[in-house]
Amino acid sequence: MWYDTFSSCKSLEKVFFPSVVRIGNRDFRGCENLKDIELPSKLEYLGMEAFSGCSSLTDIVIPGTLRTMQEKAFYNCGSLENLTILDGVPEIAVTAFRDCVSLKEADIPGSVKIIFRNAFTGCNSLEKVTLREGTERIAESAFSSCSKLSSLTLPEGLKTIEGEAFYRCYALESVAIPGSVSVLKGFSQCEGLREVTIADGVRELGSSAFSGCKSLESVVLPDSVETVGKNAFRDCSALAQITYKGTTYTQSDMRAFNSLFPDSVWDK
């Protein structure tokens, strides 16, 4: 199978695969009545938009043999509720599950090293995300606008959380950042975020890391932090105190804190 094999076959409801190792670009794109599919156990390649727009698809299991997933593989599968990614899959592609608006949970195995940009953007029913030890990078906007996301588990060993990774995850109230993360970005406009735990080891809060987190009341920065980037705390209207290296800065001490990190823009 190479490309467009069954694209837009709107009456197709069920597919059985023999020993297929490759599903090509757009092979099942727009098969809007496709409900029942079991990906082959030896699948290695999943092409661009392979199942995008399969609006009746409810369940999918990604086999651990998969080595390449191209962008938009399951983009806009609006009925997809149950996603299982087996250990062995190395990455989640760009916009792979974007706008899968019925998806409620994502449990990512440790074999997944990188979750690329916009992988789960707009999955506005997504409530729980669990990442396992082994995942190293969450790319830009990977989980942006997942407005119901309330449970997030980040593993030790995670190295990078890029800009707007969790942008506008309004239901997220608490998050624990492991010390393996060297540069922390990605939580701007999380308006429900009240509690942030940052483990020792984090060196930098990147630009706009927590900007617009209007419910955030206090932050303790570990001694390992060397840099607080531009606008890191802008528009955090409830932020009453920041503790750093044994000193607690209150709102009346904003100037003192901002003199340490002039670009952080802690304001009311």
- Taking 90 as the threshold, does the pLDDT of residue 81 lie above it? yes
What is the CATH superfamily name and number for domain 1-118+131-146? Ribonuclease Inhibitor (3.80.10.10)
CB 186 within 8 Å of CB 208: no
Would you kindly state where each structural domain of the chain is located, as residue ranges?
A: 1-118+131-146, 173-268
What pLDDT is stored for residue 8 in this prediction?
86
Mean pLDDT of 188-198: 96
Distance CA 216, CA 240 (A): 8
Mean pLDDT of 4-26: 88
Mean pLDDT of 109-136: 98
**DSSP calls for 212-259:** T-TT--EEEE-TT--EE-TTTTTT-TT--EEEETTEEEEGGGHHHHHH
Mean pLDDT of 180-202: 95
Q: Name residue 23's beta-bridge partners.
A: 46
Mean pLDDT, all residues of the chain: 93
pLDDT digits (tens, 9 = 90+) for 151-166: 999 999 999 999 999 9
Share of the chain above pLDDT 90, in %: 77
Dig out the tokens for 206 from the structure. Answer: 């990147």
Mean pLDDT of 202-218: 93
- Taking 90 as the threshold, does the pLDDT of residue 96 lie above it? yes
- Taking 90 as the threshold, does the pLDDT of residue 4 lie above it? no
Mean pLDDT of 80-96: 97
- Taking 80 as the threshold, does the pLDDT of residue 243 lie above it? yes
Q: Name residue 218's beta-bridge partners.
A: 241
Indicate if 173-268 has the same CATH topology as 1-118+131-146.
yes
Distance CA 74, CA 2 (A): 17
Mean pLDDT of 33-60: 95
Residue pointed to by tokens 């209207």: 237
What pLDDT is stored for residue 1 in this prediction?
57
pTM for the full model? Answer: 0.93
CATH of domain 173-268: 3.80.10.10
What pLDDT is stored for residue 124 in this prediction?
96
What pLDDT is stored for residue 246 in this prediction?
83
Query: What band does 69 get if pLDDT is binned at 50, 70 and 90?
Result: very high
Share of the chain above pLDDT 70, in %: 97
Dig out the tokens for 244 from the structure. Answer: 């750093």
- Taking 60 as the threshold, does the pLDDT of residue 129 lie above it? yes
- Taking 70 as the threshold, does the pLDDT of residue 47 lie above it? yes
Distance CA 157, CA 120 (A): 21
Distance CA 35, CA 78 (A): 12
